[in-house]
Structure 1
Amino acid sequence: MEFETAAGHEVPKLGLGTWQMDPAVARETVQTALDLGYRHVDTAQAYGNEAAVGAALRESPVDREEVFLTTKVHGMRRSFDSIVASARDSLDRLGVEQVDLLLIHWPNPLADLETVIAALEEARERGWTRSIGVSNFGRDRLARARRLADGEILTDQVLFHPWWPQRELLSYCQDEDVILTAYSPLANGGAIDDRVLAAVGKRHEKTAVQTALRWVTQHENVVTIPMSTSRNHLAENLDIFDFRLSQAEHDRITRPSYYKTGVTMARGMLGL
């Protein structure tokens, strides 16, 4: 496993995302992932599976301190008190005294960003989270959040894959020592049968999926949380740190496309 370090916090480069997992599936999948060697798990209030993720952590022989655990406050939480209270509720559902990272799930245009950041910082001050961050923030909104925060904003969790490389946001994160957490790194399945990824992967005796994940993790200041429920696929996703892409291969894989991104986002929304 490789790690990314920012603001004194070390985060495994590859973790497990649990979006669209019902509680029973999430519980089993997290147990399997921990057994395989995953030490980074991501959940959210909106996913409805925090309790299942927490149960899997308690049932695993892996010590809680070894697992980097993230959850996200529902984006509809707008007031200081509701955000703080919901953070406490997340800890109760997870069955832990502290998470490693607490995010606001998405920017709410009706919410005051200063209030949101202050509430996240209150959760950190109370010891409920080691770090705070944001999700689905663009560069300018992330910069404003960082100006409003007294402490560090550890990460911005966003869509990131070869067809949506987020160059402006990534450059900002790299310059400012902020981690970019990539969700949907396989473009909601779009990477699986991609000919370029397959061709590049073949040279390294890797699959198209593994090649896409290596493309993501070779970026400085980037970690990723692909979602899978299959033991074989979980193991495959983890087996990416024994090779490196050349600069030419990396450039060949990077193909910004509004069309491809739109198609893959639609597939994700429809659960395809």
Structure 2
Amino acid sequence: MQHIVNAQGLNMPKLGLGTWPMLGEACTRAVEQALALGYRHIDTAAAYNNEDAVGQALLNSPTPREQIHVTSKVWWDQLQPDAMRHSMDRSLKALHSDYIDLFMIHWPSTDWDLPRTIETLVSFKEQGLARNIGVANFPLPLLRTVVEELAAPLSAIQVEYHVLLGQNALLDYARQHDLALTAYSPLARNRVTEVPVIQQIAAKHGVSPTQVALKWLLDQPNVAAIPKASSEANQLANLAALAVNLDDQDRALIAGLSKRERLVSPDFAPVWDAFDR
């Protein structure tokens, strides 16, 4: 299986390391360890308050920077052009890098000039500060506006996606427009371990429920996943998920699960689309 998502010039490893809510030295150690184990995709954000810790791991690692895909994001209250530029400058400094592989708007705002925000995001790509640009937590109508009306050259969208929350409409759109979809909270904050269907499939293959849930995502075209894992055991287990072979019966069982369990919906979240069935 191809373990890379190729989309609009983006070449992003399908399995990445999510770093929220890790901080400080613990975060640095976890990222260094992941890179030593073979991870080449690290996800961070200004709002995580750990870009400096990730940057220190990048400095400490013998893996060349150009071999590591780094995603970072600007917070929703920093989407005026000058604030966005300051956020980008801070991120680059913290990460000890002169570019970010994928730079995203973390959440949409209700108080913004969307065309100017997107124009600023696009300027980062044009200036080479971001190799690729994207958005996170945008519902489909807003994503459609950015792609079709504002003609932004996005490479990716990042949203909550797991066996208990469907994203069929967004996925269909992403594939039609050659976008990667990165799944955050891909293990539903470990709730996948309690789902009898997932337990049943895991027992059948002699693997863990988390590995089943991860591989279900990673098997899908255009989909990447960024589980948080700090321990070596969990990082290795997630890597081993790449070798799991799910069959059509497994996928049919997972398709039959309710896909309504959204776990991340803060006060400032947008109005979500109707749940995908």
Q: TM-score, normalised by structure 2?
A: 0.91
Which residue pairs with 1:256 in the alignment? 258
The alpha carbon displacement at 1:167 in A equals: 1.1
The 1:208/1:62 distance shift into structure 2, 3 A limit, reads same
Superposed, 1:157-236 pairs within 5 Å as 157-236=158-237
1:38-64: per-residue Cα shift (whole Å, max 9, x none)?
000000000000011000011001111
Q: Find out whether 1:78 has 2:79 as its counterpart.
A: yes
Counterparts of 2:178 and 2:258 in 1: how far apart (Å)?
A: 24
Q: Secondary structure, in 3 states, of the residue corresponding to 1:147?
A: helix
Amino acid of the structure 2 residue aligned with 1:233: N
Q: Secondary structure, in 3 states, of the residue corresponding to 1:191?
A: helix
Which residue pairs with 2:117 in the alignment? 116
Contact 2:9-2:132 within 8 A present in 1 as well? no
Counterparts of 2:146 and 2:182 in 1: how far apart (Å)?
A: 16
**Structure 2 gap segments, 5+ residues each:** 266-277
Counterparts of 1:84 and 1:125 in 2: how far apart (Å)?
A: 13
1:121-178: per-residue Cα shift (whole Å, max 9, x none)?
1111221110000000111111111135555211110000011021111111112111
Which residue pairs with 1:270 in the alignment? none
Q: Secondary structure, in 3 states, of the residue corresponding to 2:164?
A: coil
Q: Find out whether 1:29 has 2:33 as its counterpart.
A: no
Which residue pairs with 1:67 in the alignment? 68
The 1:240/1:85 distance shift into structure 2, 3 A limit, reads same
1:90-114: per-residue Cα shift (whole Å, max 9, x none)?
1011110001000000000111221
Counterparts of 2:112 and 2:141 in 1: how far apart (Å)?
A: 16
Q: Secondary structure, in 3 states, of the residue corresponding to 2:170?
A: helix
Counterparts of 1:242 and 1:94 in 2: how far apart (Å)?
A: 31
The alpha carbon displacement at 1:4 in A equals: 1.1
Counterparts of 1:193 and 1:186 in 2: how far apart (Å)?
A: 11
RMSD across aligned positions (CA): 1.5
Counterparts of 1:39 and 1:165 in 2: how far apart (Å)?
A: 27
The alpha carbon displacement at 1:241 in A equals: 2.0
Contact 1:217-1:223 within 8 A present in 2 as well? yes
Superposed, 1:37-48 pairs within 5 Å as 37-48=38-49
More moved, 17-26 vs 28-37: 17-26
The 1:28/1:149 distance shift into structure 2, 3 A limit, reads farther
Counterparts of 1:142 and 1:56 in 2: how far apart (Å)?
A: 33
Contact 1:114-1:148 within 8 A present in 2 as well? no
Contact 1:4-1:10 within 8 A present in 2 as well? yes
Q: TM-score, normalised by structure 1?
A: 0.92
Amino acid of the structure 2 residue aligned with 1:121: V
Q: Find out whether 1:125 has 2:131 as its counterpart.
A: no
Counterparts of 1:15 and 1:21 in 2: how far apart (Å)?
A: 15
1:59-104: per-residue Cα shift (whole Å, max 9, x none)?
0011111110000011111311111221111101111000100000
Counterparts of 2:165 and 2:66 in 1: how far apart (Å)?
A: 33
Percentage of matched positions with identical amino acids: 35
More moved, 83-92 vs 247-256: 247-256
Amino acid of the structure 1 residue aligned with 2:258: P
Which residue pairs with 1:155 in the alignment? 156
**Structure 1 gap segments, 5+ residues each:** 267-272
Amino acid of the structure 2 residue aligned with 1:232: A
Q: Find out whether 1:87 has 2:79 as its counterpart.
A: no
The alpha carbon displacement at 1:238 in A equals: 0.7
Which residue pairs with 2:3 in the alignment? 2
Which residue pairs with 1:52 in the alignment? 53
The alpha carbon displacement at 1:195 in A equals: 2.0
More moved, 87-96 vs 150-159: 150-159
Counterparts of 1:135 and 1:256 in 2: how far apart (Å)?
A: 23
More moved, 244-253 vs 123-132: 244-253
More moved, 17-26 vs 216-225: 17-26
